[in-house]
């Protein structure tokens, strides 16, 4: 049965919940909480934490409707063998693999690499560890979506202009329809946030659609 979000931009978005997956991108302590990698880079992390209540509501709604839920985490092996130099040398006095307040930054298994407590996956939900910004790169995400018969995606999480947008573009190239709930994604930079959402919906949904979590939840409940 098709569900329609009438107030989506640039026009209504139609999807079947049974062939739709919710992808929650990188809601990790290193990106979201004070003392993590994001703040160490000089960013204000308050916009990250502000979306947590909206994401909690959306998660519960999607769980209620038995939708496929995937949580991604960006991070690397302890020896950093999967982290290219072009990424390893990017930072602002603080770099991937160095010791931070929550352990080694963006290293799998460290405290900061893990999910925030409010959005921990439930049993049966997929946890996808990824070494890059694109959730499809060097992961089995596409295989999972194909095996589950997924045609549409709800993409949320952080940050809007980096991992969320990169994943949306990769999904679009693979033929998936997608919508981004605007109040379930965030950026450290206000101007990047809005520009990215505008880029997604430009030219008649060239990448995808944007809506609010309330409109999405209402469509599912109706």
Per-residue pLDDT in tens (0 to 9) along the chain, 222 residues: 899 999 999 999 999 999 999 999 999 999 999 988 898 888 999 999 999 999 999 999 999 999 999 999 999 999 999 999 888 887 666 789 999 889 999 999 999 999 999 999 999 999 999 999 999 999 999 999 999 999 999 999 999 999 999 999 999 999 999 999 999 999 999 999 999 999 999 999 999 999 999 999 999 998
Kindly give the residue spans of alpha helices, DSSP state H, lying in 99-158. Answer: 141-147
Question: Per the confidence metrics, is the pTM higher than 0.75?
Answer: yes
**What's phi and psi for 121, nearest 5 deg?**
-60, 150
Are 216 and 179 in contact by the 8 Å Cβ rule? The answer is yes
190 Cβ contact list (under 8 Å, min separation 6): 47
Are 71 and 115 in contact by the 8 Å Cβ rule? The answer is yes
126: three-class secondary structure by DSSP: strand
Cis peptide before 10 (omega within 30 of 0): yes
pLDDT of residue 89: 83
pLDDT of residue 92: 66
pLDDT of residue 91: 67
Active-site amino acid positions:
26, 130, 163
Are 128 and 139 in contact by the 8 Å Cβ rule? The answer is yes
Domains of the chain: 3-221 (3.40.50.850)
């Amino acid at each position: 049965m098709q569900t329609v979000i009438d107030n989506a931009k640039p026009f209504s978005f139609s999807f079947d919940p049974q062939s739709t997956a919710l992808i929650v991108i990188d809601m990790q302590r290193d990106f979201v909480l004070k003392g993590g990698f994001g703040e160490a880079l000089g960013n204000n992390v308050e916009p990250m934490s502000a979306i947590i209540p909206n994401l909690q509501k959306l998660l519960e709604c999607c769980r209620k409707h038995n939708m496929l839920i995937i949580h991604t985490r960006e991070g690397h092996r302890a020896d950093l063998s999967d982290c290219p130099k072009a990424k390893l040398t990017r930072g602002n006095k603080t770099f991937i693999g160095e010791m931070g307040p929550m352990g080694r930054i963006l290293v799998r298994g460290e405290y900061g690499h893990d999910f925030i407590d409010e959005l921990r996956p439930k049993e049966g939900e997929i946890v996808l560890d990824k070494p890059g910004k694109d959730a499809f790169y060097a992961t089995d995400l596409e295989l999972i979506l194909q095996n589950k018969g997924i045609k549409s995606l709800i993409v949320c999480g952080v940050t809007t202009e980096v991992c969320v947008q990169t994943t949306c573009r990769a999904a679009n190239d693979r033929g998936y329809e997608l919508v981004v709930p605007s109040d379930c994604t965030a950026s450290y930079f206000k101007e990047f946030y809005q520009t990215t959402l505008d880029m997604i919906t430009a030219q008649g949904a060239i990448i995808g659609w944007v809506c609010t979590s309330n409109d999405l939840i209402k469509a599912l409940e109706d």
